[in-house]
Amino acid sequence: MEKIETQAGAQLSVIEIVNEIRIRNKDEIVRLIAEDVKETRSVLLICTSINLWVASNRIRGELELPVEVLSDFVDAAIKNHEVL
C-alpha cells in the first residue's frame, strides 16, 4: 500500500506542476487510490485520467477533485486491470 501511495502522490504532484494547479484534497485522493488499487499500473491509469480531466476542463489555480470523479476513474482502472 505504501508503494501505491508514494506513486499516486508523486504523479499527482507532477499533474500539479504541469497544469499549474494545487489539488487541495491531494492527501485524501492518495488515500482513496491506495485503499482501492493493488497494481501500480492502475495508479498510472487513474492519474492519467485525472490529468486529462484537469486539462479538458481547463482548470487553473486550486481545485478540490470531486470524489465522484475519482471513483469513476478508479472503477475504470480496476475493470481495465481485470480484463488484462
Q: What is the pLDDT of residues 45-65, one digit of tens each?
A: 999 999 999 999 999 999 999
Q: What is the pLDDT of residue 82?
A: 63
Q: What is the DSSP string of the chain?
A: -HHHHHHHHHHHHHHHHHHTEEETTHHHHHHHHHHH---HHHHHHHHHHHHHHHHHTT--EEE---HHHHHHHHHHHHHHHHH-
Total-model pTM: 0.92
> What are the pLDDT tens digits along the chain (84 aa)?
899 999 999 999 999 999 999 999 999 999 999 999 998 999 999 999 999 999 999 999 999 999 999 999 999 998 886 654
